[in-house]
Amino acid sequence: MKLVRLGAVGAEIPGVLVGDDEFVDLSDVVGDFNESFFASGKLASLPEVVADRVAAGNVEPVGGRRFGAPFARPHQILCIGLNYSDHAAESGSKVPDEPIMFTKSPNTLIGPNDDVQIPRSSIKTDWEIELGIVIGRRSLYLANEAEAEAAIAGYVMVNDVSEREWQIERSGQWSKGKSAPTFNPAGPYLVTPDEVGDPMNLDMTLDIDGVRRQTGNTNKMVFGPAFLVHYLSQFLALEPGDLINTGTPPGVGLGMKPPTYLVGGETMTLTIAKLGTQTQRVLADDHAAK
């Protein structure tokens, strides 16, 4: 299934995408795709509900509706750094022996096609296409990777927008460089594991104004999704609806020669196989000239 949330900011309707341009409205069944929904276990019963409504003709065109993030704001966004061997080489860093974890403010979450705002005084805003994992049940001290796989509600594409000066040069505060408003576009849909298949073999690309910047495949991940969920559960409780951003392939602005960053006016286009496409306009810092 492809879970979507359609409509204006703050008034999104939860549903399931049917084909390319129709959806089944599930707002009367689930309310929203949030912590209580994932914790309830209702995700498992949705295929039957959707099938019944499709059979009855209860589908609607997506039309011009806005795609919101396909899940409501999570308790936490956890991120994994240097998790692609080729990106680690690009940045001149050693492949880590254990996952590098940092956090991102949950209020960075926006829809897949919403505008990305360069923050005030930023000079090094960068892009990062990533595979995201959404947690389906509370997970603490999971016994093994099989339990971790069972705890995954689905996968989503994210853009882990980053401010490199704040991340690297301002006392090494990674979370500081990751948490500006609009810094986590997600979507267009949350795809359940049965439809994704092997999450460790997904092609991914990111273009800036039609120029290819990132080309990768999740098979270059150092630590895969099941490993990460199991690993993180040993240190903290993962709550239903939490998001894990799993790292990025090479081609970020930081790795270019010379480094190149967003200034405003660009269009970012991201695609991951089976997870769709998202497009964001980049808005310049309107205080830059003041």
What does the pLDDT look like over 134-185, one tens digit per residue?
Answer: 999 999 999 999 999 999 999 999 999 999 999 999 887 789 999 999 999 9
Q: Nearest Cα to 247, choosing from 145, 131, 157, 95?
A: 131
Q: Could you tell me the domains of the chain? A: 2-61 (no CATH), 77-283 (3.90.850.10)
Query: Are 45 and 16 within 8 A, CB to CB?
Result: no
For residues 16 and 178, give the distance between their C-alpha atoms in angstroms, rounded to a whole number.
30
pTM for the whole thing? 0.96
DSSP H helical ranges for 67-201: 85-90, 145-150, 164, 193-196
pLDDT band at 288 (very low <50, low <70, confident <90, very high): low
C-alpha dihedral, 148 to 152 to 158 to 160, nearest 10°: -30
**124 pLDDT tier (thresholds 50, 70, 90):** very high
Mean pLDDT of 73-77: 97
Q: What is the pLDDT of residue 86?
A: 78
pLDDT cut 90: percent of the chain above it: 91
Higher-pLDDT residue of 287, 212: 212
For 64, other C-beta atoms within 10 Å of its C-beta total 5
> Confidence class of residue 266 from pLDDT cuts 50, 70 and 90?
very high
Q: What is the pLDDT of residues 10-22, one digit of tens each?
A: 999 999 999 989 9
Question: How many CB atoms sit inside 10 A of residue 287's CB?
Answer: 10
Has residue 60 got a pLDDT over 50?
Answer: yes
SS3 category, 38: helix
Q: What would the pLDDT profile of 172-206 be if each residue is shown by its tens digit?
A: 778 999 999 999 999 999 999 999 999 999 999 99
- pLDDT-derived band at 289 (thresholds 50, 70, 90) equals very low
Q: Is the pLDDT of residue 287 over 70?
A: no
Percent of the chain exceeding pLDDT 70 equals: 98
Mean pLDDT of the chain: 95
pLDDT reported for residue 89: 74
pLDDT, tens digit, for every residue of 249-259? 999 999 999 99
Average pLDDT over residues 45-63: 97
User: Is the pLDDT score of 290 beyond 60?
Assistant: no
- Using the Cα atoms of residue 149, residue 39, residue 55 and residue 16 in order, give the sign of their dihedral: negative
Question: Are 132 and 157 within 8 A, CB to CB?
Answer: yes
